[in-house]
Amino acid sequence: EVQLVESGGGLVPPGGSLRLSCAAFGFTFSDHYMDWVRQAPGKGLEWVGRTRNRANGYTTEYAASVKGRFTVSRDDSKNSLYLQMNSLKTEDTAVYFCVRESMGSYVWFDPWGQGTLVTVSS
Amino acid sequence: DIQMTQSPSSLSASVGDRVTITCRASQSISNYLNWYQQKPGKVPKVLIYAASSLQSGVPSRFSGSGSGTDFTLTINGLQPEDFATYYCQQSYTTHLTFGGGTKVEIK
């Protein structure tokens, strides 16, 4: 079964750091671009960032709201995706989802992990 | 980044109704448009990609149309399990932005 399982969420004070992890199962992780998407409580979906695969140099991209503070990385040997979050702000409070990008000309997100809650508060 | 605007933000409908949700992009995105469904407490699920292609396993009462800047998601014959929030997403650029969502509630 294709599955993504996030971990690492929790309560962190403003200005703090947190590292999220996502374990992938049931597919060739190294082939796919992988992304993080977040959803603030009661709000909509916001794309956070992406890492491309080895064939595309593991390059990354970020939403403007997190650029310079968040870092997406991956370890293909462990079938794992990471999100390092620094200089956290209260507005970063959200459920963070790990998602797999489809392969091909048209891109969509499937599957989604169950999400991990990050709360930034003093 | 491309801005995606959905309307309405919420609607009330009855079982059996035909429901239409619109999504507008701030610039042309050809047909690089996806639709997701999110039920309360659940993760989003892709319904339609490439503006009108139905994802495997999605009921045929769901359909998508449009190109350029204007898109629609139609549900023909709303079912109880369709009450949820729907999001559009553009995949024309590498920053895959979402619309704000449309909540479909029971009338």
DSSP collapsed to 3 states, A76-100: HHHCEEEEEECCCCHHHCEEEEEEE
pLDDT of residue A118: 98
Cβ pair A44:B98 closer than 8 A: yes
State the nearest Cα–Cα gap between B55 and chain A, in angstroms.
10
Task: Work out the pLDDT band at B74, boundaries 50, 70, 90.
Answer: very high
Cβ pair B98:A102 closer than 8 A: no
Cβ pair A97:B98 closer than 8 A: no
Q: Does A97 touch chain B (CB under 8 A)?
A: yes
Q: Does B94 touch chain A (CB under 8 A)?
A: yes
* Amino acid (1-letter code) at residue B9: S
CA distance A81 to B93: 22
Residue of A46, A112, A113 with shortest CB distance to B98: A46
Across the range A7-14, mean pLDDT stands at: 98
Closest among A103, A116, A110 to A39, alpha carbons compared: A116
Task: Work out the pLDDT band at B84, boundaries 50, 70, 90.
Answer: very high
Across the range A42-51, mean pLDDT stands at: 97
Give the count of Cβ contacts less than 8 A between chain A and B: 57
pLDDT of residue B106: 87
Provide the token pair at A51. 């890492």
